[in-house]
Amino acid sequence: MVRTRNFAARVRPSGSSTTVSGDCYRAGTQTRDNVVHARLEGVSMRHRTVRPVLVVVSAAALVLTAGALGRVALATPDAAKAALVSDPASMVNTIVQTGIGDDFPGSQAPFGMIQWSPNMNSRSAGGNYDHGDNQLRGYALTNLAGPGCGAMGDDPILPMVGGAPSNVNGTMMSYNHSTEVATAGYFSAKSSGGTIQTELTTTQHAGIARITYPSSTQAALLIKLRDSQNQNGTDPSSARIVSNTEIIGDTTSGHFCGDVATYVVHFDMVFDHPFTASQILGSGGAGPDGIFLTFNTTSSKVLMAKVGMSFVSDGNAKANWQSEIPDFNFDGVRAATHAAWNTFLGKIEVAGGTADQRTVFYSNLYHILNHPNVVSDVNGQYMGYDNKVHTVVSGQQAHYENFSGWDIYHNEASLAALLAPKETGDMGTSLMQAFQQSGAIPQWGFMNSFNGVMIGDSAPAIVAQYHAFGARSADDNQLLQDLVHQARVDNRIRGGLAEYDRLGFKPDDPSLTIEWTQEDFALSRLAAALGDTTDADFLLKRSLDWKNILDPQTGLLSPRPASSSTSHRTTPAAPMSRARRRSTASRYPTTSRRWPPCSAATGRRTRCWTACSRASTGRPRCVPC
């Protein structure tokens, strides 16, 4: 039970790794006008060396992230007597965290491959949505929640009335935000002056749209193939009209945060009644710009469209909708996805508070379950980091990508594991597969590519939290070996390890030193939990290297040049073979040396430290002590 003065939440057990205990662990923290108490009921750790978790929740932490809604005061009549929320999915407002939060408001199943959502002209980074923008590009099949860099927005689908446009990407429709209905697994809005209503709902690998047009012989659908947020002029696309009720297309996209890497989105779309005309627009250059379809809605104003999506092939895209949405039952799909969201969101039950407070709580809990998301198809195939097609292994339901490592290892990974142990177990397996296919686990894995965004090596902290909160990968011991190899052998994620092990810090880079030390600590706990005491001991001792950048004069963790001291190591770390690395682990001192004193002759430090500035040459220049 998580409580503020008049607001309570209870964490329900999830999976076989969680059991109900009669004991509860309490903590209190003073926040301005109310004392917040927390207790975690029923979490039994399987690690032999991990103690029960003590959770401290503040008013701000309880609502996770209030975003633009600001500080939430939790004060209502006696929450203990209030009824628990029975339908948490109905509490979700997916508009929360859009705009400057770079999130998207459209439909997505829990961890779903498809995020069918409106893309506005101004396009926030990744989310592609801005509540202050009334120009609709279309409803794109892919979007990314809060990345900070432009991403996705692939294959916007724009309902309209009229003839084919001459400028596909420049074609937009007016959009009415006041008509939006945005909740877990369902989105609806009106465009074109309120004359066209578009409703969207999705499954794990597919989606279905219900579009209500005015009565017209020129009701139309424009599918944009070259209007992704980061597309450039050389990215190829293709389109094919299969019949008068089916189309196929693919779009090459990517370039996340300026990277050169790309991925391909394949889609197969079918309609409940035939289109009367079709055109493939702008078919020169690297490929067509779009597909334009015309429908007659004089006898029936409602058009149903199903779409399957894949990052592997057109055939897989079709198989995805055939498996998950075999007919045109929009309401049935919506109800099933709503129930799926309730399964996850209902694991934390709340009572009391105001309607707005409950909406803020569940809307932000919902966002925990957007990413990392499924990228494998219903047949288990996915595109690997070696750009080859792979298949999920035994015991793995799906392969996941889009790990914003530096953003999620602080606390989101542990909460996700508590809510979804099976899914986060598969996420751990997915990270292991990234290592096997590329020789490293990215710190920000966007689709199946490295992009160099963020610092550090976040995977150890993520996996350690997954494991501590009950998630299990397909092979935890192999995953541990891969993580230890990445932490101890020079690679594209942890470069310069020989120098780091010799000095005990990353020269002139306190941020990276801090990242590596906390990641070493997390990995040491995972190693200990899995019985690898040798690596656990080595990593635990190395995790204390943050002390080596502690400036004794200021008491701050600060940049330290490589020349500021000789090695503090008693025995340098030796490179290890991947086959077995334990024999080279050394015992290192756990205390750092003080910095060299000032030289009486020069009045300066014998080696430069914080009392230095950078000359135009970039070399350190000491100032008097």
Task: Write the pLDDT tens digit of every residue in 27-86.
Answer: 222 222 222 222 222 222 233 333 222 222 322 333 333 333 332 333 345 555 689 999
Let me know whether 334 and 422 are in one domain. no
In this structure, the answer to whether residues 339 and 263 fall within a common structural domain is yes
Report phi then psi at 277, rounded to 5: -155, 155
Whole-number Å distance between alpha carbons of 472 and 17: 9
Question: Does 67 map to a domain?
Answer: no
In a domain, 43, yes or no: no
Closest CA to 380 of 366, 394, 360, 364: 394
pTM of the model: 0.81
User: Does residue 385 sit in the same domain as residue 326?
Assistant: no
Q: What is the pLDDT of residue 596?
A: 35
Does 315 reside within a domain?
yes
Positive or negative torsion for Cα 93, 94, 95, 101: positive
Q: In this structure, is residue 51 part of a structural domain? A: no
Residues 399 and 329 occupy one common structural domain: no
Residue 468 and residue 331 share a domain = no
Do residues 133 and 258 share a domain?
yes
Q: Do 402 and 320 fall into the same domain?
A: no
pLDDT tens for residues 142-152? 999 988 888 99
pLDDT at 16: 37
Whether 294 maps to a domain, the answer reads yes
Distance CA 300, CA 52 (A): 60
**Statement to judge: residues 147 and 210 lie in one domain:** yes
- Per-residue pLDDT of 147-168, as tens digits, reads 888 899 999 999 999 999 999 9
Most confident of 18-22, 191-195, 403-407: 191-195
Residue 9 included in any domain = no
Q: Please name which of 610, 544, 522, 598 lies closest in space to residue 50, comparing C-alpha atoms.
A: 522
3-state secondary structure 151-206: CCCCCCEEEEECCCCCCCCCCCEEEEEEEEEEECCEEEEEECCCCEEEEEEECCCE
Residue 248 belongs to what domain range?
Answer: 88-346
Query: What confidence score (pLDDT) does residue 12 get?
Result: 62
Residue 93: pLDDT band with limits 50, 70, 90: very high
Q: Which residues contact 17 (CB under 8 A, 6 or more apart)?
A: 44, 46, 421, 470, 471, 472
**CATH number of the domain within which 118 lies:** 2.70.98.10
Residue 429 has pLDDT above 70, yes or no: yes
Q: 219-224 and 381-383: which strand pairing? A: unpaired
**123: in domain:** yes
For range 421-446, the mean pLDDT: 96
The kind and range of the H/E element at 99 are: none
Please report the pLDDT score of residue 49 as a whole number. Answer: 32
Q: Are residues 511 and 392 in the same domain?
A: yes
Q: Are residues 450 and 521 in the same domain?
A: yes
DSSP states along 334-374: HHHHHHHHHHHHTTEEEEES-HHHHHHHHHHHHHHTTSSEE
Do 342 and 394 reside in the same domain of the chain? no
The domain that holds 557 is classified in CATH as 1.20.1050.60
Asked if residue 226 and residue 171 are part of one domain, the reply reads yes
467 located within any domain:
yes
Please count the structural domains in the chain. Answer: 2
